[in-house]
């Protein structure tokens, strides 16, 4: 595969980077990334992955767009209210870059359908908003051997970590199982915060695909947006991890 004249202009800034270059751009165009959720995190992640020329973007989301989503879920517009989020996300991302094909899955990711959905993708972005889904993605990606970027946000706080199953610390090395979901109405998140975390997730996918730099593995990045403080905490593989421990169990 070689870049067309227009692609050489479209991706000119990537082509100037020795870490990416034409070979990296061709890898991006051939890459398949799965977004699980196209809300606060999935919107910016999808925007940047589409803009970067990722060839196939899978989007798993069964939700219909609600007014309360619009404060942060920037792949969707007011005119999309009442539509399936995968429909508006597909229109948005494909309009940004026709090199990016979007395949929507109008279903919730479950233990039963995850192997089928994950199968054709190279990298998974966990852009979900609940603990059950995050543990499900960790388990399914481990079983399928798929690298993934975890992120979570609450109120003014966020965290993210990249996992290469079998090689680096996994989500269950950090957290054994889902805590009780907080009672009462949702707390935020503040707008723009998911933009920071989702953009980091997209960048981790781009780095994984092109093989440049050092991934956010065996490290948890936390963001306190109220104080605007970022921290990186070392994370070790837990030998007793119920998912990736040795021996497992
Ligand atoms: Zn683990």
The residue ranges of every structural domain in the chain are 10-178+186-234
How many angstroms is it from 138 CA to the middle of ligand 1? Answer: 9
Q: What is the CATH class of 10-178+186-234? A: alpha beta
Closest by CA to 193, choosing from 85, 40, 66, is 40
Ligand 1 geometric centre to CA of 148 (Å): 13
From ligand 1's centre to the CA of 177, what distance in Å?
Answer: 11
- The average pLDDT across 136-157 equals 97
Would you state the pLDDT for residue 207?
Answer: 98
Highest mean pLDDT among 22-36, 175-189, 234-248: 22-36
Mean pLDDT of 146-174: 97
Q: What is the pLDDT of residues 69-101, one digit of tens each?
A: 999 999 999 999 999 999 999 999 999 999 999
Q: Can you tell me the distance from the alpha carbon of 241 to that of 237, in angstroms, rounded to the nearest whole number?
A: 8
Q: Kindly give the distance from the C-alpha atom of residue 127 to the centroid of ligand 1, in angstroms, as a whole number.
A: 20
Distance 170 CA to ligand 1 centre (A): 4
DSSP for 1-12, please give it: ----HHHHHHTH
- Taking only the tens place, the pLDDT of each residue in 194-208 is 999 999 999 999 999
What pLDDT is stored for residue 180 in this prediction?
A: 77
CA 63 – CA 117 distance, rounded (Å): 17
């Amino acid at each position: 595969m070689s870049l067309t004249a227009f692609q050489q202009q479209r991706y000119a800034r990537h082509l100037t980077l020795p870490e990416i270059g034409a070979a990296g751009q061709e890898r991006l165009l051939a890459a398949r990334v799965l977004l699980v959720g196209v809300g606060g995190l999935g919107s910016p992640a999808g925007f940047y992955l589409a803009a970067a020329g990722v060839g196939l973007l899978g989007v798993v989301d069964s939700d219909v767009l609600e007014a309360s989503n619009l404060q942060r879920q920037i792949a969707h517009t007011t005119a999309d209210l009442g539509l399936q989020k995968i429909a508006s996300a597909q229109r948005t991302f494909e309009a940004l870059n026709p090199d990016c094909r979007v395949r929507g899955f109008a279903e919730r990711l479950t233990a039963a359908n995850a192997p089928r959905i994950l199968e054709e993708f190279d990298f998974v972005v966990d852009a979900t908003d609940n603990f059950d889904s995050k543990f499900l993605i960790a388990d399914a990606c481990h079983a399928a051997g798929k690298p993934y970027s975890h992120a979570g946000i609450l109120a003014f706080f966020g965290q993210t970590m990249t996992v290469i199953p079998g090689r680096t610390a996994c989500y269950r090395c950090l957290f054994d199982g889902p805590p009780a979901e907080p009672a009462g109405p949702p707390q935020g998140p503040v707008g723009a915060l998911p933009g920071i975390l989702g953009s980091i997730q997209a960048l981790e996918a781009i780095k994984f695909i092109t093989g440049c730099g050092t991934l956010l593995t065996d490290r948890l990045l936390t963001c306190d947006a109220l104080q605007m403080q970022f921290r990186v905490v070392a994370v070790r593989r837990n030998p007793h991890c119920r998912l990736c421990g040795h021996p497992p169990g």
